[in-house]
Amino acid sequence: SQTFERPQSTRFLAVANQKGGVGKTTSSVNLAAALAEAGMNVLVLDMDPQGNASTALGAQHDSQTLSLYDVIEGRASIAEALQVCPDFENLDVVPSTIDLSGAELEISSLENRVYLLRDQLRAYLESSEKKYDYVIIDCPPSLGLLVLNSLCAVHEVVIPIQAEYYALEGLGQLLRTIQLVQKSMNRELVISAILITMYDKRTLLSHEVYEEVGQHYASLLLETTIPRAVRIAEAPSFAQSVIAYDPRGMGAIAYREAALEINKKSTHIFTLLDRLKKEQ
């Protein structure tokens, strides 16, 4: 059926790709908004110092605001830094500020440096009344400590790939990093979806990228592709997701479908997690 189902327990997703400009932030924001629109309780963590996800979700993120920077460095809790998205009362955001760019260096000598976010998230979820269906982390375009913190705080990775030349360039390195994290830092980590973004159905190139990813990663590739659409690109300048900004447009429709596909994958994910737990 075409309806969203609440997952059995909270699903933790990192939207990651070390390439910039592939649609990580756009996908984090709009998947989160689509899930929230469908009634899910969603928390977005903006791990990119650029703060684009914060902007697109209408969160304040000037230098006075408590942000993930303060959370990572232990000066504030997630509860203290949390804001509610103006468009969806069941969508919470922990914003980032440009200060977060200093965190990688500042935490680099700490022994638990890759688990700072995970531990703050655990502490928050244990103490909070709120029960989230989804926690979505928008990763910065690197494979540095902020990304490792993100990958150690989740069970699932969603990889957006832009339908363009060299789309798969760098994917091998990303997959090796994820594998390394899975082996030595977070046994429960799996890649749950690959999402093709900025798809132009009129071009052969877009088809070729979709086909090529499908050949290598058939089980991960979402059927839904996200079209290149002006409304998707302009929504953030109105401090909105495209789900709120242009709810009937093709961008919103595509992100709703992608969110639904991800929502339906939950059974598969939980089977995998159960198997891993038995093996341990």
Q: Which is nearer to ligand ADP, 153 or 198 (CB)?
A: 198
120 near ligand ADP, judged by CB under 6 A = no
The distance of closest approach from Cβ of residue 155 to ligand ADP in the complex, given in angstroms and rounded to an integer, is 21
**Region of 22-30, 69-77, 258-266, 267-275 interacting with ligand ADP (CB under 6 A):** 22-30
DSSP conformation letters of 196-245 = EEEE-TT-HHHHHHHHHHHHH-TTTEEEEEEEP-HHHHHGGGGT--HHHH
Task: Name every residue whose Cβ is closer than 8 Å to that of residue 205 and which is 6 or more positions away in sequence.
Answer: 163, 164, 165
Binding footprint of ligand ADP, residue count (CB under 6 A): 16
The candidate with the shortest Cα–Cα distance to 39, out of 92, 91, 79, is: 91
244 near ligand ADP, judged by CB under 6 A = no
The distance of closest approach from Cβ of residue 30 to ligand ADP in the complex, given in angstroms and rounded to an integer, is 9
Give me the residue label for tokens 């965190």.
103
Cα separation, 269 vs 74, in Å, equals 31
198 near ligand ADP, judged by CB under 6 A = yes
Cα separation, 41 vs 39, in Å, equals 7
20 near ligand ADP, judged by CB under 6 A = yes
135 near ligand ADP, judged by CB under 6 A = no
CB 54 within 8 A of CB 197: no
Q: Binding mask 140-179 vs ligand ADP (x if CB under 6 A, - otherwise)? A: -x--------------------------------------
Cα separation, 248 vs 251, in Å, equals 8
Q: Which is nearer to ligand ADP, 189 or 232 (CB)?
A: 232
What phi, psi does 264 have (nearest 5°)? -75, -20
51 near ligand ADP, judged by CB under 6 A = no
| Positions in the binding site for ligand ADP (CB under 6 A) | 20-26, 52, 141, 197-198, 226, 228-229, 232-233
